[in-house]
Amino acid sequence: EPEVTQTPSHQVTQMGQEVILRCVPISNHLYFYWYRQILGQKVEFLVSFYNNEISEKSEIFDDQFSVERPDGSNFTLKIRSTKLEDSAMYFCASSESRGGNQPQHFGDGTRLSIL
């Protein structure tokens, strides 16, 4: 069964550094998402992306964050000038279409640790 893959599985970065989290969505999917889960807390929506542009974002997704689909397969989340509170598990998801009866498929996540 096709999977969403995320790399790396664990990223350790110094505070203030930039980090790029990578995702390869399922190949025929058109909608892409990033979520994060701070340790011990619930999963939170960050951003959704369709047709090479952001379609919705949360208040968490400020100017520090950006997303990109640099080629036909990768979907990236960039965090500029990381802060300690950016430490979390970041999940990428994709779906075949918006709304309707299409589920979102999740990757295994990238654990980001900011030192």
Partner 1 sequence: KNEVEQSPQNLTAQEGEFITINCSYSVGISALHWLQQHPGGGIVSLFMLSSGKKKHGRLIATINIQEKHSSLHITASHPRDSAVYICAVRKGAQKLVFGQGTRLTINP
Within 7-26, the residues that bind partner 1 by CB under 8 A are: none
Shortest distance in whole angstroms from residue 81 CB to partner 1: 25
Which regions of the chain does DSSP assign to beta strands (E)?
A: 5-7, 10-13, 19-24, 31-37, 44-50, 53-57, 65-68, 75-79, 88-95, 105-106, 110-114
Piece in contact with partner 1 (CB under 8 A), picked from 15-23, 59-67, 68-76, 98-106: 98-106
Looking at the Cβ atoms of 65 and 80, the one nearer to partner 1 is 65
Q: Of the ranges 22-30, 42-50, 64-72, 78-86, which one interacts with partner 1 (CB under 8 A)?
A: 42-50
CA distances from 62 to 40, 58, 67 (A): 22, 8, 11
- Please tell me whether residue 15 adopts helix, strand or coil conformation: coil
The reply on whether position 60 binds partner 1 by CB under 8 A is no
Closest alpha carbon to 33 in 50, 21, 18: 50
- In the complex, the residues that contact partner 1 under the rule CB under 8 A are 31, 33, 35, 37, 41-45, 48, 55-56, 58, 89, 91, 98-99, 101-109, 111
